[in-house]
A = this chain, B = another copy of it.
């Protein structure tokens, strides 16, 4: 099996979700020898300004730094680009305009997959940063396909943000413990309110939902499988 296409990954937003995407690409690739795996080029820059702080609080835009990462991976040969940060997709048009190389739109890929698997009218429980919620990224993409989004109550959304950004939060590497429990409990609440599945619309809550006993729509896994199909072919 020979393929020379290179996947570029704009990493570091956040740090664990980048490793999660790389692992999921490996898992999604059928190989006979190690050499069958896909060539990746990863610019892992955790110093990119926080996306939610920009959208919610008027902090500095992350777009210029993300564009520099895009330039780095395209100069290194990437011919397909992935950004494993949902919130960064708020800036998608600006990012795609900076390059002729295709960026797979993670939120759109996920909305299309959800439509195919749950159908029009389905209610999807969204656990995402306040930045992603306010940006209406998932509501717009899912809404365009006739799907409905259920959100946590405002106080629940605050506890979710603490679980992501707090000192014992998932961005600090705390993948076991109270932060992860908060995410799982919020998921159960949305299911009780009528959601047919939980969509972690931010990569950190997704990390807390890898081994739960309810339906989870994982955008990083969907992106990984779609990217591998684009590069390797197959259904």
Binds B, one of A11-19, A106-114, A141-149: A11-19
- What copy number does this chain have within its complex? 2
State which of A30-38, A90-98, A122-130, A212-220 sits at the interface with chain B.
Answer: A30-38
CB of A23 within 8 A of chain B?
yes
Question: Which parts of A12-50 form the interface with B (CB within 8 Å)?
Answer: 12, 14-16, 19, 22-23, 26-27, 31, 34-50
How far does the Cβ of A234 sit from chain B's closest Cβ, in whole Å? 18
A39, B46: Cβ atoms closer than 8 Å: yes
Q: Is the CB of B39 within 8 A of A42?
A: no
Q: A41, B44: Cβ atoms under 8 Å?
A: yes
Are the C-beta atoms of B39 and A47 separated by less than 8 Å? yes
Question: Assuming the A-B contacts A35-B50, A173-B27, are A76 and B12 also in contact, with contact meaning beta carbons closer than 8 angstroms in the complex?
Answer: no
Q: Is the CB of A34 within 8 A of B15?
A: yes
Looking at chain A's contact residues, is the secondary structure mostly helix, strand, loop, or mixed? mixed
Q: Is A172 an interface residue (CB 8 A)?
A: yes
CA distance A76 to B49 in the complex (A): 19
Q: Which residues of A contact B (CB under 8 A)?
A: 11-12, 14-16, 19, 22-23, 26-27, 31, 34-50, 72, 75-77, 171-173
A-B contact list, 20 entries, CB within 8 Å: A12-B39, A19-B22, A19-B26, A34-B171, A34-B172, A35-B46, A35-B50, A37-B47, A39-B44, A39-B45, A40-B42, A40-B44, A40-B45, A41-B43, A41-B44, A41-B72, A42-B42, A72-B76, A72-B77, A75-B76
